Amino acid sequence: MSGSSEEVPWVLAAKTGKIGLSNRLGRGDRSPLGVWFWELDRVLLALMLALIAVGLLAVAAASPAGARRLSTDAVKLPELYFFYKQLMWIGVGVPLMLFISMYPREQARRLAIFGFAVMLGLLMLVPFLGKEVNGAQRWIGWGPATIQPSEFLKPMFAITLAWILSWKIKDGKLPLAMITMGITGYICIFLLAQPDLGQTILCCGIWFALMMVYGVPAWRLWALVLGGAALLFVAYNFYPVATQRIDAWIFGTEGLTHDKMAMATLTAGGLIGVGPGLGTRKYSLPEAQTDYIFSVIGEEFGLLACMVIAVLFLAILIRVVTRLLEEKDQFTVLAVTGLIAQFIGQAMINMAVNLGIFPSKGMTLPFISYGGSSILALSVTCGFILALTKRNPYLDRSRYMRDGNG
């Protein structure tokens, strides 16, 4: 709708001519960009940007280990190869996050549902057109233009499930929990086929978090927990990837060597670390710049730095929960719950793997680990969180008057 307050601030500002250096975003500024700036949760944005900055330092520390491992006699990668590439991805990801944060809630919801349909279609094509890397077929594309659909699917999945569950307001008789469980199960089939046990567990965790907020009775939640344990037992006995990972973790077969090396690297630096670039144990890790970057941080910057990262994730979680306590719209509460469950759940899994609590999952640490698809997908996730947690009292008041309640 031309000129509508529902348009993205960048678009509306361009149409109204209110974009430029003269627009200083003061408190009295009622331009589209001014409204966006003052209604955005700037504390939450600052925490996310701090996490990104810490991630750049971490990738710089881990890059030499990854570059050395991938170098050959014919091609020797520069030591900061992954750091330079991470700078490029951050240069794309941060503007993408800010752009998505400018969407009004209704447009953000429509964008997520459309993205869910696209990414689900790509996920279904991965078994036929996907590229195999390190024994897993998770990527699709040609040449350097490849993406991992499962990474981008997660935030769209959380918002789409929240939208379906919010139908309860219109018709409380619909079996919405069963519908969303069916969608989750369908996606998990394709994730397990890649194979990607970590993403499967994370998607189930997102759905479980939504069920808790949705209001499923406690006895059903316990039944879901027991059902999940039973499925894990079945996976251990009939799903080779799960068997290999769990055996490696419990019985000390081949894969556990990596877990032991990760824990040894994590604790090698003590409280304050051996110093940036001075770590040596990181060169023994198989994926120092991605899966085991938390261990590299422990060695070079110390356990205190690891604690700072954990506190940053906790602060983001607390900030989001605080915003949700003031939210009355059911869809928004459910959608942000799913998004933050994805973000924090992924962080917890990665850190647990580095601590030896979980078997290896091949999952990155959000905004800390290196990865193009990972950075862009997490930028989309955080962009949606920022978009859905905005507060605009002027727009809310106009809607209140428009609906005849004023």
**Structural domain boundaries, residue 205:** 110-367
Distances (CA, A) of 348 to 44, 56, 167, 229: 19, 20, 31, 19
Whether residue 159 is contained in a domain is answered as yes
Q: What is the pTM assigned to this prediction?
A: 0.86
Residue bearing the bigger pLDDT, 103 or 20: 103
Q: Is the pLDDT of residue 109 over 70?
A: yes
Q: What is the 3-state secondary structure (H, E, C) of 161-199?
A: HHHHHHHHHCCCCCCHHHHHHHHHHHHHHHHHHCCCHHH
Whether residue 115 is contained in a domain is answered as yes
Whether residue 5 is contained in a domain is answered as no
Burial class (CB in 10 A: 0-12, 13-18, 19+), 234: exposed
Provide CB contacts within 8 A for 168, sequence distance 6+: 174, 176, 214, 330
Lowest mean pLDDT among 43-47, 72-76, 140-144, 183-187: 140-144
Q: Which of 300, 264, 294 is nearest to 363 (CA)?
A: 294
Q: Is the pLDDT of residue 120 over 90?
A: yes
Q: Is the pLDDT of residue 256 over 90?
A: no
Whether residue 40 is contained in a domain is answered as no
Q: Is the pLDDT of residue 83 over 50?
A: yes
Characterize the bridge pairing of strands 145-147 and 136-142: antiparallel
Residue appearing with tokens 């503007």: 95
State the sign of the Cα–Cα–Cα–Cα dihedral 101, 89, 277, 67. positive
Q: Is the pLDDT of residue 400 over 50?
A: no
- Phi, psi of 148, deg, nearest 5: -105, 100
**Planar angle of CA 87, 93, 98, nearest 5 degrees:** 130
Mean pLDDT on 273-280: 89
Mean pLDDT on 312-333: 93
Whether residue 272 is contained in a domain is answered as yes
Whether residue 199 is contained in a domain is answered as yes
Q: What integer best gives the mean pLDDT of the chain?
A: 84
| Cβ count near 199 (within 10 Å) | 26
Whether residue 305 is contained in a domain is answered as yes
Q: Is the pLDDT of residue 11 over 70?
A: no
Q: Is the pLDDT of residue 117 over 70?
A: yes
State the total domains in the chain.
1
